Every structure is written in structure tokens, then in C-alpha cells.
Amino acid sequence: MNQAPLMIQHSCRIPVRLADCFALYTRLKANEYIHSDAVIAPITNIEMIQGKSFNEVGDIQRITFKGGAIIDEEVLAFVPNRQFVYKGTGFSQPLLNWLDHAKGSFEFEKDGDGTLVTWRYLFYLKTGLGHTPKRIVFKALVVDLIWHRMMTKTLVNLTQIITLRAMQTGKKS
């Protein structure tokens, strides 16, 4: 029996017009804004496996982290000025190897003269022996503790970077 995925989401308001915010976001590489610290290893390499920009459905990138962990991400949906959806597979880190896959999305919505950005992540755990206890541990440690902190800090980084780049190009609001 498949269980519902574990979900976490966070939102932030970026004081940049929707179209400019989305365009600036899609030009960023994950290693420019993803938060890393003593628990979350920094990204050491991003390699395109399929496609050229990671902005089109079917594009696949491989992200390598310090220590050798790897995640492959595939673009599932790309709706300009609205949504970017991707699927992660091949997680090799402890606890994350319990995942079958994950789906992430960044959703963009006009918010006055700025943009509301919501980052949603769905974790689909592998089924099998010990699934229920693994789900409880995964939710407590990965989702509620590690991912919550990482998402919060990453969205602060994203807000600062997009706001600064918009100011540099004269596209704030």
C-alpha cells in the first residue's frame, strides 16, 4: 500500500515584480542559493545530464555534494511566471536513501508590487519492511528538523540574491 508523501513548504515575499523575479530565479544555479551548514553539505558540482539549461521539461541535472552524495533532478513542469516543478532521485545520503523519490516545486504569485514564492517539497519513501517506523523517523529528523531549517535559510538567501540582482539591473518594483 502506498502512503501519502510527507510534505513541507515555506513561502517568502520577494520585493521584485513577478516576471522579473521568475526570470532571475531561472537564471540561478542551485549552488548559488541553497543553504549549507554543518549538517547540509555544500554543492560541489552541477552537471547537465540531459538538456542545456534546466529550464525545460525533461532536462536533467546531477548535483554532487561535498562528501560525494549525489541527487539527479529532472524538470517535470515549467510554466513561465508561475511554476517550476522537478523530481529528485538517486539520493545516497543516510536517511535520504529511504526515499524512492521527491518532488519539489517553486511557485510564483503576484503579491502587490512583489512576488510570493512558495517552495514545496514532497518526500515519497520506499515501501517495504520497516516502512512505518522509517516514516516516523524521517518526518521528525529530515522533514521537521533538517529540511525545515534548510528551506527557511535557503529562501532568505534566494530573497537577498534576487532582490540584489534586480536592483543591479533596475528591475526591482
Whose CA is closest to 141, among 98, 109, 108? Answer: 98
Q: What is the pLDDT of residue 1?
A: 46
User: Is 109 inside any structural domain?
Assistant: yes
What does the angle CA 85 – CA 62 – CA 50 come to, to the nearest 5 degrees? 75
* Span 53-97, pLDDT tens digits: 899 999 999 999 998 889 999 999 999 999 999 999 998 887 788
User: Is 53 inside any structural domain?
Assistant: no
Which domain, by its residues, includes 137?
6-40+80-169
User: Is 52 inside any structural domain?
Assistant: no
User: Is 49 inside any structural domain?
Assistant: no
What's 154's domain CATH number? 3.30.530.20
User: Is 31 inside any structural domain?
Assistant: yes
Mean pLDDT of the chain: 92
Q: What is the pLDDT of residue 173?
A: 56
* Span 16-34, pLDDT tens digits: 999 999 999 999 988 888 8
**Structural domains counted in the chain:** 1
d(CA 93, CA 86): 19
User: Is 46 inside any structural domain?
Assistant: no
